């Protein structure tokens, strides 16, 4: 029983890290602009809250959908994670990203946009029957920490880490999806 819990914890930790890398890469680019530490703290908290709410909603919907699908749950969950990972991976090659400091409703849109992939991941986790509380708390805390880290590193580095973090995050999600399939 303890091995099962440790395996689920490890998988969720890796998934939370991969999903948080999207927020990290966006905040890294935004952190290269002048931004007060108070604002960085607030944005990190907001991203963390959205990374709790979005996968929670996804897990609930996934649990509702998984009852009729029973046999197909791992297939659907794995395909969803692979799709999210592929999207993150290939979107890192786009040149039209121009980070801007969010203001007003842009703050909520920023937190929402970097949390969308966690909704889909939550949906696939709900289908596979993962523990809800551990998953959403891990997603929220990890994304909040990675967002703060991205902003703070962005203040120091003028750089190249953003693209590579999205590539890594997308690769990890694809690998977890493949693991669920095979």
Question: Which residue in 44, 45, 52 sits closest to 121, CA to CA?
Answer: 52
- Tell me the pLDDT of the chain (182 aa) as tens digits: 566 567 778 888 988 998 888 788 778 767 777 778 999 999 999 999 999 999 999 888 887 876 665 556 567 667 766 776 777 677 777 765 555 556 677 778 778 877 877 887 887 777 776 778 888 999 999 999 999 998 888 777 655 555 566 676 667 667 777 776 77
Q: Is the pTM of this model over 0.85?
A: no
User: Whole-angstrom Cα distance, residue 50 to residue 55?
Assistant: 8
Residue 102 DSSP symbol: -
């Amino acid at each position: 029983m303890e091995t099962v819990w440790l395996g689920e914890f490890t998988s969720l930790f890796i998934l939370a890290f991969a999903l948080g890398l999207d927020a990290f890469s966006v905040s890294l680019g935004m952190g290269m602009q002048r931004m007060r530490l108070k604002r960085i703290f607030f944005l990190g908290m907001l991203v963390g809250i959205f990374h709790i709410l979005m996968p929670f909603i996804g897990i609930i919907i996934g649990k509702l959908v998984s009852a009729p699908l029973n046999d197909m749950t791992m297939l659907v969950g794995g395909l969803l994670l692979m799709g999210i990972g592929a999207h993150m991976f290939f979107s890192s090659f786009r040149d039209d990203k121009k980070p801007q400091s969010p203001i007003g409703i842009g703050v909520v849109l920023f937190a929402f946009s970097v949390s969308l992939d966690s909704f889909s991941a939550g949906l696939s986790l709900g289908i596979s029957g993962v523990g809800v509380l551990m998953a959403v708390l891990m997603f929220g805390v990890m994304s909040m920490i990675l967002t703060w880290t991205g902003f703070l590193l962005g203040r120091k580095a003028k750089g190249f880490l953003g693209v590579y973090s999205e590539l890594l995050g997308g690769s990890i999600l694809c690998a977890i999806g493949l693991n669920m399939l095979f």
